Structure 1
Amino acid sequence: MSNQAPNEARVIPLRPAAAPDQATAPARSPQRQGPAFAPRQTPPAPTSREPLWRDLVGDVLRRERLAQERTLKEVADAARISMPYLSELERGRKEASSEVLAAAARALGLGLTDLLSLAQDELARSARPRTGRSRTTAPYNGMCLAA
Structure 2
Amino acid sequence: MTDRSRPLLRTLVGRVLRRHRLEQERTLAEVARDAAVSVQYLSEVERGRKEPSSEILAAVCDALGVELSDLLAEVGRELVEHRAPVLRLRPVAPVTPVVRPMRRPTTPPHRSGDVMLLAA
Q: CA RMSD in A?
A: 2.0
Give 1:60-139 correspondences, 5 Å limit: 60-127=16-83, 130-131=84-85
Instruction: Please identify runs of 4+ aligned residues in structure 1 that moved more than 6 A.
Output: none
Give 1:39-50 correspondences, 5 Å limit: 46=3, 49-50=5-6
- Paired-residue identity, %: 53
Shift of 1:125: 1.2
Paired residue type of 2:85: T
Residue 14 of structure 2 corresponds to residue 58 of structure 1: yes
CA offset digits 1:30-72 (Å, max 9, x no partner): xxxxxxxxxxxxx7x85x6211000000000000000110000
- How many residues align? The count is 89
Separation in structure 2 between the aligned mates of residue 102 and residue 117 of structure 1, nearest angstrom: 14
Bigger radius of gyration: 2
Question: If the length of structure 1 is used for normalisation, what is the TM-score?
Answer: 0.56
Question: If the length of structure 2 is used for normalisation, what is the TM-score?
Answer: 0.67
Separation in structure 2 between the aligned mates of residue 120 and residue 66 of structure 1, nearest angstrom: 20
Paired residue type of 2:22: L
Paired residue type of 1:131: P
Separation in structure 1 between the aligned mates of residue 77 and residue 61 of structure 2, nearest angstrom: 16
Separation in structure 2 between the aligned mates of residue 66 and residue 116 of structure 1, nearest angstrom: 18
Shift of 1:132: 6.0
Q: Structure 1: which 5+ residue stretches go unaligned?
A: 1-42, 135-147
Q: Structure 2: which 5+ residue stretches go unaligned?
A: 89-120
